[in-house]
Amino acid sequence: MSKPVHEKAVIIGISGPSSSGKTTLARLLQRVFCGVNLKPKDSRLNTFIIHEDDFYFPDDKIPYTTTASGEKIQDWDTASAIDIPFLSQALHYVRENGTLPPRLRSKEDQNDATDSGVSDKIVQELRDIVGSRLRNKAAEKSTESPTIAFLEGFLLFAPPEQEQHVLRSVHDAIHLPLFLPAAYELVKARREGRSGYVTVGPVPEPPAQITEDGGDSQEGKTGTDIDLEAEDDRPPQNFWVDPPGYVDDVVWPRYVTDHAWLLIAEDEDEDQKDGSQALTEAELVRRIGDGTKARTDVGVEVAPGCGSAGMDVVLRWAVELILGYYLDRMGV
């Protein structure tokens, strides 16, 4: 497959449940690929990371939900909390220009960073492999090599059969989708071990009449024309801390419901596959179980190990896939 001449970046999408290692993998991949020397004339590969968390609406625009216990809390794990038109426009800007739009200023690096568990030796080994293969294959190419952008986020992919899905424009802007499964117990432990998250915008005051949002509607949330060349003028930053029970009340049920098309239920057989969308949220959570199994027949690459593989194994898997795709994209 040859690269369209107007595209200057390849976007690698990395998704999975909260705390599955998406940001860690993106940062490791940037270390592996960034600055690799492509040709004798000091041409180096450019890379950067796009964090979906940077596309959240301001705090006072995050929708509310009612938990099983009747408590009304903000829901940061629904598609309606994300400015999807802004994200989609930014991805198309990246593809066409090979750079981040000036409008986008990341706050993600102000959040907690965890030890990747991958040694510098392994990272350097993979850098050497990438550099060698790119130089060997692309030495005779005179065209500019496209940038690699690593997009990481908890909601990036759409079912292949749903053309009108809320995430369709985002999914279609991604060249190579990678999915990291993670077990419920791991997600719960890691998420509850975090101190919180940097956010933007005015601190919300719960309205007298709370309107719940099911997660798909984007109506009224953003303008139709975003000036990506303008500087980021979003309001000052705040800090969100998960309320007690948030993982079980919101994070995990939302994740399972949004990814039912991709996850494999523990008791699933061929006759049950088509009926998953008709199940209630509680029924889906029960059937999906620990959430470690995912389908491999829907156009999404699934990490090895069903969520139990070490980050070094996942990193090697991702590097091989990206390298193969990138070389094919360059037509070499």
pLDDT tens track for 87-143: 999 999 999 999 999 877 665 555 455 678 899 999 999 999 999 998 887 655 556
Residue 253 has pLDDT above 70, yes or no: yes
Beta bridge partners of 44: 37
H helix and E strand count, the chain: 9, 9
Residue 223 has pLDDT above 50, yes or no: no
What DSSP letter does each residue of 65-116 carry, written as one string?
A: EE-TTS-EEE-TTSGGGB-HHHHHHHHHHHHHHSS--TT----GGGS-----
Residue 253, both tokens: 């049920």
In this predicted structure, what is the pLDDT of residue 3? 45
In this predicted structure, what is the pLDDT of residue 261? 96
In this predicted structure, what is the pLDDT of residue 215? 47
Phi and psi torsions of 154, nearest 5°: -85, -15
In this predicted structure, what is the pLDDT of residue 197? 76
* Structure-token match 């408590």, residue found: 71
pLDDT tens track for 55-74: 999 998 999 999 888 889 99
Residue 284 has pLDDT above 80, yes or no: yes
Distances from the Cα of 96 to the Cα of 8, 147, 265, angstroms = 6, 11, 39
1 confidence band (pLDDT: 50, 70, 90): very low
Taking alpha carbons only, the member of 1, 6, 13 closest to residue 300 is: 13
Taking alpha carbons only, the member of 160, 182, 129 closest to residue 302 is: 182
270 confidence band (pLDDT: 50, 70, 90): very low
Q: What is the mean pLDDT of residues 221-245?
A: 70
